[in-house]
Each structure stands twice: as C-alpha cells, then as structure tokens.
C-alpha cells in the first residue's frame, strides 16, 4: 500500500495536458483559461459619476448654482463646468471637464434651471477615476478555472472568445451483477447504481465531458466488452470490482487488455482498493465500489488529475483548517477522510462512517482528514478538512 501523497504523485506522472480550444465567453464558465487576457483600454474609460446628482467645479453649503446641461450614461456633456455652474449627471455618466465632485441630488433643491445646495452636503467626491477598476495592459492571468466573477471581468475586458483547455473526456464504467440503472426495477438482490451519477456530476463540475457506459456484469467477457466501448476517452474510471473477492475482475481484465499498472491499494479510508495506470491511449483509475469510497476518491484523486489535464498545477485538493466541535478518538494506520458537518462554529465528525452511507455523505459539509495513527483529538483542536460545499450563495 502506498500513501495518498505518493498515489497522487504517481497519478500526476500519468497526466498528459490537453490541447487548447477557443470558446465563446458564454460557454467559458467552469473551463480552465489557458491564455491570459489583456485589457486594451481603461475601465472606466473616463472619470464617471458614482451617483445621481450634479457635477460641480466648486460649491459652498447653501449656494445656488445654474444648471447648464446634462450628462447621462452613454451621453456625455461636451462642455466645461465652471464656478457657479452645475451639470445634471447620472450614475455611470462621464464627469464633465472642470468638475471636481458630484453633489448627490438628495443634497440639492431644484428650481427650474437652478439648484440650491443644502446646508450640509456630503463631502465625498462621488467620482470614479478613469481606470479605477483596471488600466489598459491589465492582465487576467492563466491558467485559472473560470468562475462567474471571472466571466464578468472577461466581458469587461472586451473578450468575446477565450482560449481554454479542451475538456477531458471521461468514460465511466460501473461493474457488478447487483446493479440496475436509476428508474429500472431492481430484483430483490439488486441495488441501484449511484456512484457513476455522483461522480459524473463531480467531474463535470471539474470541467470534464463524461460518458456513462453500460454497466459491466461480473464476467470477464462482459467487462472486456464494456471496456471495448471506450474509444477516445482521456480517462477511464471504473467503479467497483477492485477488491479481492472472486467477482472483483477489474484488475485481471484490465491487465489482460494491457494496463500498465502504476499502483494498487492506497493507505486511506475509505478508498483502499484504488488502482491506476495507463490503458492504451488513456489513463485509467479503478475506484472502489462503495459509494462513499468512490466519491471520496473522486475528490481526492480524480479532480486533481482532471485539473492537471486542463493545465492547472498538479496539486492535491487544497485543505482548510477548523476546530472540532466534538472530541474524536485515535485514528488507525490509514489516512481517514471522515464525514463531518458544521456545528457550533466547528466541525462535528459523524458517528457513522461506514463507506456505504450516502445519506451521511450527502448531509456532510466536509471531509476531516486524519493522518495515519493520529492520536485522539479534543473539542476545539484544529483539524484539516476538505470542503464539500464551497458556494454558500448556491445553497
Ligand atoms: N477481504 C476483503 N474484502 C474487502 C476489502 C479487503 O481489503 N479485503 N476491502 C473492502 C473495501 S475497503 C472496499 S472499498 C470494498 C471495495 O470493493 P470493490 O471495489 O471490489 O467493490 P464491489 O465489491 O464491487 O462493491 C462494493 C460495494 O459497493 C456497491 N457498489 C458497487 N458499485 C456500485 C455503484 N456503481 N453504485 C452503488 N453501489 C455500488 C456494491 O454493491 C457493494 O455493496 O471491498 C471491501 N472488501
Ligand atoms: O476503505 Mo473501503 O474504501 O470502503 O471503505
């Protein structure tokens, strides 16, 4: 058995980065930008008003000024504003020459073409200088995964098309006589295949294009046939059949088909019977069948591999630190990824850690990572964790 760290290194050494492609900005969310994008002009391109009000050269509390024109967003006022004068202005409009500040309209009283400044106007200038957001030459660096906020920035940079990594093509294969697809009627000794759907959702979020192949039944012929359906995948992920039972055929069949095995078995919990190698032109990762094991390995191994394929740095999924809200006993010899949820400003490790419990995983906020042979930990002690849910605004 090798450590999680060594397994990740071995996986990264099997990765071939994918070529780039150009996509419309509307298709770029979640993709990995591989070429930097540079601003060709300042934003805002002119000094702009931050408020609705009046642009003035100067004014004193209680003074009366003459309104000589209007500057609206998209319609600048071309003249100059001088002492004793004001230009009606709206949020986002260019500030006219000569103006030093914008008086918000709440601090004025309008009477025909004159305004009277209140006795106590706000002192802020309410002017956004040209280039306050970015200057011509500003660069959005690559490689980076594009989030909605980056898409907004790219649009502001006037990029309608961007260079991103091609999506890794992932073929997902479930194995087992006991499995039926969701929606089908299971026999009394069958269950519904769940892993591929969770994994496919996870990998799609990691930028992959997933193809779910038919379930491979527990026979050499069936498994060979389904593996034969993999055509242009960059990564083949099998689920189940990885352990030592009589019906666990993945290692045997993949070996017969020419798998150059990199490693088998990792000192972690859950996820011990993980296998990886190169099969023809693709990388192969054999995940354990237990649903929680498969998902945990998806987070710990497959997502970093997909990131590296897309040109991101070959790095483990970053961990954070938080206090425990309840004590936990000592850990065994394998690195343990324990399901936990936020409680009382800390992480509470779930009592039930069996790797078949999807209800526990689905209700968890984090995987607390316990190093091999870690001692007991008291409430309040800091532990490392891998966050499972990252965007609170999405629920
Ligand atoms: N004698 C030993 N037995 C086991 C060991 C061991 O070291 N020695 N390791 C255990 C561990 S740890 C795990 S994890 C499992 C992994 O087994 P496999 O990868 O061979 O998986 P299966 O036996 O095919 O299935 C395990 C479990 O998961 C269910 N399953 C499988 N595929 C799916 C799917 N797509 N969706 C939902 N559920 C699935 C399957 O029905 C089984 O219940 O081995 C232990 N045994
Ligand atoms: O270690 Mo196995 O991956 O369930 O629980």
Of the candidates 120, 121, 110, the one whose C-alpha atom is nearest the C-alpha of residue 86 is 110
Of the candidates 289, 293, 287, the one whose C-alpha atom is nearest the C-alpha of residue 270 is 293
Is pLDDT of 371 > 80?
yes
Pocket-testing residue among 197, 243, 275, ligand 1, by greatest number of atoms within 8 A of Cβ: 243
Residues with CB under 6 A from ligand 1: 174, 176, 178-179, 191, 193-196, 239-245, 248, 270, 272-273, 288-291, 293, 355
- Complex ipTM over 0.85: yes
Supply the pLDDT for residue 391.
74
pLDDT in tens, 304-342: 999 999 999 999 999 999 999 999 999 999 999 999 999
Pocket-testing residue among 289, 334, 357, ligand 1, by greatest number of atoms within 8 A of Cβ: 289
Pocket of ligand 2 contains residue 269 by CB under 6 Å: yes
Supply the pLDDT for residue 144.
98
Pocket-testing residue among 332, 355, 372, ligand 2, by greatest number of atoms within 8 A of Cβ: 355
Dist. CA 142 → ligand 2 center (Å): 37
Instruction: With cut-offs at 50, 70 and 90, classify the pLDDT of residue 248.
Output: confident
Nearest Cα residue to atom 32 of ligand 1: 289
Helix (H, G, I), strand (E, B) or coil at 93: coil
Dist. CA 390 → ligand 1 center (Å): 29
From the options 3.30.43.10, 1.20.1560.10, 2.170.190.11, 3.60.20.10, give the CATH code of 48-128.
2.170.190.11
- Degrees to nearest 5, angle at CA 294 with 250 and 360: 145
Classified by CATH at the fold level, domain 22-41+140-165 comes out as Molybdopterin biosynthesis moea protein, domain 2 (3.90.105)
Supply the pLDDT for residue 244.
80
Which residue bears the tokens 């070429």? 35
Distance, CA of 355 to chain centre: 25
Consecutive H or E run containing 360: helix 358-362
Phi and psi torsions of 328, nearest 5°: -140, 145
End-to-end CA distance of the chain: 38
Measure the CA–CA gap between 164 and 171, rounded to whole angstroms.
21
Question: In ligand 1, which atom is closest to the CA atom of 243?
Answer: 20
Is pLDDT of 69 > 90?
yes
Measure the CA–CA gap between 116 and 139, rounded to whole angstroms.
45
Consecutive H or E run containing 9: helix 4-13
By percentage, how much of the chain surpasses pLDDT 70?
Answer: 100
Question: In ligand 1, which atom is closest to the CA atom of 176?
Answer: 24
What value does the mean pLDDT take over residues 101-119? 97
Nearest Cα residue to atom 27 of ligand 1: 290
CATH architecture of the domain with residue range 4-18+167-309 = 3-Layer(aba) Sandwich (3.40)
Q: Where are the domains of the chain?
A: 4-18+167-309, 22-41+140-165, 48-128, 320-394
Of the candidates 283, 179, 273, 160, the one whose C-alpha atom is nearest the C-alpha of residue 223 is 179
Classified by CATH at the fold level, domain 320-394 comes out as Beta-clip (2.40.340)
- Average pLDDT of the chain is 96
Cβ proximity of 85 and 65 under 8 Å: yes
What value does the mean pLDDT take over residues 189-201? 95
Is pLDDT of 389 > 90?
no
Q: Is the pTM of this model over 0.90?
A: yes
């Amino acid at each position: 058995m090798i450590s999680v760290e060594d397994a990740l290194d071995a996986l990264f050494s099997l990765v071939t980065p994918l070529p780039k492609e150009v996509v419309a900005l509307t298709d770029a969310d979640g993709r990995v930008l591989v070429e930097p994008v540079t601003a060709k002009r300042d934003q805002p391109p002119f000094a702009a008003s931050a408020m609705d009000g009046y642009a003035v050269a100067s004014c004193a509390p209680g003074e009366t000024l003459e309104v000589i024109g209007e500057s609206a967003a998209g319609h600048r006022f071309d003249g100059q504003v001088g002492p004793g004068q004001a230009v009606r202005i709206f949020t986002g409009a260019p500030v006219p020459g000569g103006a030093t500040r914008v008086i918000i309209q709440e601090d004025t009283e309008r009477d025909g073409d004159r305004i009277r400044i209140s006795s106590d106007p706000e002192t802020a200038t309410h002017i956004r200088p040209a280039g306050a957001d970015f200057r011509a030459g500003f660069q959005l660096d690559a490689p980076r995964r594009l989030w909605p906020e980056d898409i907004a920035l790219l649009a502001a940079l006037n990029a309608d098309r961007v260079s991103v990594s091609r999506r890794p093509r992932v073929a997902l294969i479930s194995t087992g006589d006991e499995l039926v697809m969701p929606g089908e009627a299971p026999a009394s000794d069958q269950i519904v295949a769940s892993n591929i759907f969770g994994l496919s959702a996870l990998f799609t979020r990691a930028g992959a294009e997933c193809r779910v192949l038919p379930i491979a039944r527990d026979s050499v012929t069936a498994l060979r046939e389904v593996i034969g359906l993999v055509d242009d995948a960059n990564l083949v992920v099998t689920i189940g059949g990885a352990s030592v039972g009589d019906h666990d055929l993945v290692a045997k069949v993949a070996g017969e088909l020419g798998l150059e095995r990199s490693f088998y078995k990792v000192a972690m919990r859950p996820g011990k019977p993980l296998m990886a190698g190169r099969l023809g032109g693709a990388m192969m990762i054999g995940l354990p069948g237990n649903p929680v094991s498969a998902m945990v390995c998806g987070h710990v191994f497959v997502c970093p591999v997909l990131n590296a394929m897309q040109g991101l740095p070959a790095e483990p999924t970053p961990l954070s630190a938080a206090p425990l809200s309840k004590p936990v006993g000592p850990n065994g010899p394998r690195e343990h990824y324990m399901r936990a949820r936020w409680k009382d400003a800390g992480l509470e490790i779930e009592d039930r850690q069996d790797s078949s419990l999807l209800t526990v995983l689905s209700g968890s906020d984090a995987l607390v990572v316990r190093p091999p042979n870690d001692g007991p930990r008291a409430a309040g002690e800091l532990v490392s964790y891998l966050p499972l849910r990252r965007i609170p605004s999405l629920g």
